[in-house]
Amino acid sequence: MRLARAGRWVTLVGLVLLAGVYLRALAFTPIERSQGPAQKIFYLHMPAAVWAELAMVLVGLAGVFYLFLKDPRLDRFAAASAEAGTVFAAIVLTTGPIWGKPIWGTWWSWDARLTLTLLLFFLYMGYLLLRSATPDPALRARYSAVLGICGLVLVPFIHLSTVMFRTLHPAPIVLKPSQPSLPGSMLITLLFSFGVFTLLYIGFVMQRYGLSLLREELAARERAAAVARGRGGGGGDGGDDA
């Protein structure tokens, strides 16, 4: 319960700071010359894309450790991370077309990185569906760990195949080692936004983790109550026998 509430606060702070990011982006960061104001969405798009992918990596790593340690906390974290990842993937998939329409002239293009995010989104959906279709908690944890690990290995293959397929996406221009071609003030806004999204990820995960903990406790309490009821009745029968 405390964790879920703390998570809500972290998320709230994250959202306030996100407003700060946009204040900075709109008022204090220069407009990009070739793309115009549409580029502003990039401060939302890029950090969300990075976290959509990082969340999958964390789901996979949590799966690896779960299979060794069988610690239910790892499974709960993986589930929370997948839910957060789904949200970030959805943000990318909505901001992408909004940016793409004025810049590429089309809402959707099968560009490498957009496709990757779409497939990540499908992976997350599959992961969450598998969880909801597996009633037994231990089985669910093992299955999702296996799927998460497979997803982790799949991501580089999708990267490869979509890049080899074709790409329209602007080449990475942020952290080129030779000379960062993004102006300093834009870079700062972007890094600020990235920090905010990290905070949002942590907040989401804390909330979902707290909630699933709560749900498990509730289920356990219901079960205990059912057992107690059953025992009460059984005790009566035993008394009659004696």
The contact set with other proteins (CB under 8 A) reads: 67, 119, 122-123, 125-126, 129-130, 133-139, 142-143, 145-147, 149-150, 153-154, 157-158, 160-162, 164-165, 220, 223-224, 226-227, 230-235, 237-239, 241-242
Give me the least distance between CB of 240 and other proteins, in Å please. Answer: 9
CB atoms within 10 A of CB 160: 11
Q: Residue 179 or 237: which CB sits closer to other proteins?
A: 237
CA 63 to chain centre: 15
> In the complex, what is the shortest distance from the CB of residue 7 to other proteins, in angstroms, rounded to a whole number?
24
Amino acid present at 34: S
- Which residues 6+ apart lie within 8 Å of 213 measured at CB? 3, 4, 76
Q: Which is nearer to other proteins, 173 or 242 (CB)?
A: 242
Distance CA 98, CA 48 (A): 15
Distance CA(88)–CA(47), nearest Å, equals: 9
Which CB sits closer to other proteins, 24 or 140?
Answer: 140
Give the E-state strand segments of 98-138 in sequence order: none
- Distance of closest approach, residue 208 Cβ to other proteins, in angstroms: 20
Task: Return the number of the residue (161 or 185) whose C-beta is nearest other proteins.
Answer: 161
Pick the closer one to other proteins by CB: 18 or 55: 55
Q: What sign does the CA torsion over 98, 102, 107, 113 have?
A: negative
Angle between helices 72-104 and 42-69 (to 10 degrees): 160
The distance of closest approach from Cβ of residue 124 to other proteins in the complex, given in angstroms and rounded to an integer, is 10
Q: Give least dist CB 194 to other proteins, A.
A: 27
